[in-house]
């Protein structure tokens, strides 16, 4: 799978990583197709998708009776230096894929989270402010397991802990409930078109 590439240590430490999730169809698109479409829309907005994990299936939380989520993590390249501006792009892509913000943890057609922006640490000044890294990244198997696929040397910018250490702290239930779902996500990025490895 040429699109899923392991990231070297230095790249993992200066990269930008986003998490993707979906558990509702949009129009005639399945959640898998929503994730695929999101990668394409990012590419059209001058956000290059450098590598992407496989999709992983996770029970919905906190209500497991809702449809399960498909989750993935991608490393991206973007010329800007303002993570808030990047979040605006992510929100535009969510909207284009049918995301309607309602109650917290509701089913959604697409959820895009900024996990790590070049190892920056940023505390939110208000409740709606962007925090970096994502404040719950260390507790989420559905982020850490796909992230390890493409960035096995990633370290938490706050604690300095390697990703394997963070995964080992997750509960056994969280780890076993997060499983590869099958399929491969692709994006038509400039880097991939040139055949870069």
Query: DSSP readout, 96-123?
Result: HTT----STT---S-EEEEEEETT--B-
Among residues 63, 82, 104, 113, the one annotated as catalytic is 113
The question of whether 57 is a catalytic residue gets the answer no
The model carries a pTM of 0.87
The mean of the pLDDT values for the chain is 87
The question of whether 111 is a catalytic residue gets the answer yes
Cα–Cα dist 144/22, whole Å: 17
Residue 13 has, within 13 A of its CA and on its CB side, a CA count of: 7
Question: Of 91, 113, 90, which Cα lies nearest the Cα of 100?
Answer: 91
Query: Which residues have C-beta within 8 Å of that of residue 145, sequence separation ≥ 6?
Result: 56, 167, 175, 178
pLDDT in tens, 118-171: 999 998 887 778 999 999 999 999 999 999 999 999 999 999 999 999 999 999
8 Å CB contact between 42 and 93: yes
Encoded tokens for 84: 């808030």
The question of whether 99 is a catalytic residue gets the answer yes
Residue 13's pLDDT band (cuts 50, 70, 90): low
What pLDDT does residue 187 have?
Answer: 59
**Where do the domains of the chain lie, and which CATH numbers do they carry?**
9-185 (3.30.70.560)
Cα–Cα dist 75/116, whole Å: 9
Among residues 111, 116, 148, 174, the one annotated as catalytic is 111
Among residues 24, 99, 148, 155, the one annotated as catalytic is 99
What pLDDT does residue 65 have?
Answer: 87
Cα–Cα dist 139/120, whole Å: 19
What pLDDT does residue 124 have?
Answer: 81
- The answer, yes or no, to whether residue 42 has pLDDT greater than 80, is yes
Most confident of 55-59, 60-64, 188-192: 55-59
Residue 103's pLDDT band (cuts 50, 70, 90): low
Average pLDDT over residues 44-53: 95
Residue 186's pLDDT band (cuts 50, 70, 90): confident
**Helical ranges in the chain per DSSP H:** 9-14, 31-44, 83-96, 141-150, 163-168, 172-177, 190-193
The question of whether 174 is a catalytic residue gets the answer no
What pLDDT does residue 63 have?
Answer: 83
Residues recorded for the chain = 197
- The answer, yes or no, to whether residue 191 has pLDDT greater than 50, is no
Encoded tokens for 185: 């996500």
Among residues 54, 101, 104, 108, the one annotated as catalytic is 108
Q: In a 3-state reduction of DSSP, which class is residue 162?
A: strand
Q: Is the pLDDT higher at 69 or at 189? A: 69
8 Å CB contact between 115 and 134: yes
Cα–Cα dist 48/51, whole Å: 9
């Amino acid at each position: 799978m040429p699109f899923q590439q392991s990231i070297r240590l230095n790249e993992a430490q200066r990269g930008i990583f986003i998490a993707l999730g979906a558990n509702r169809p949009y129009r005639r698109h399945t959640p898998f197709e929503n994730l695929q479409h999101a990668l394409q829309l990012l590419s059209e907005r001058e956000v290059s998708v450098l590598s992407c994990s496989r999709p992983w299936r996770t029970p919905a939380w906190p209500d497991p009776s809702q449809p399960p989520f498909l989750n993935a993590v991608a490393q991206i390249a973007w010329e800007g230096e303002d993570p808030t501006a990047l979040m605006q792009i992510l929100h535009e892509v969510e909207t284009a894929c049918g995301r309607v913000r309602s109650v917290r943890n509701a089913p959604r057609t697409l959820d895009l989270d900024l996990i790590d922006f070049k190892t920056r640490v940023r505390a939110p000044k208000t409740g709606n402010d962007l925090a970096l890294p994502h404040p719950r990244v260390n507790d989420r198997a559905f982020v850490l397991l796909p992230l390890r696929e493409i960035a096995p040397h990633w370290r938490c910018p706050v604690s300095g802990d390697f990703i394997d250490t963070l995964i080992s702290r997750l509960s056994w239930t969280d780890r076993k409930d997060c499983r590869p779902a099958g399929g491969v996500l692709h994006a038509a990025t400039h880097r991939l078109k040139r055949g870069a490895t």
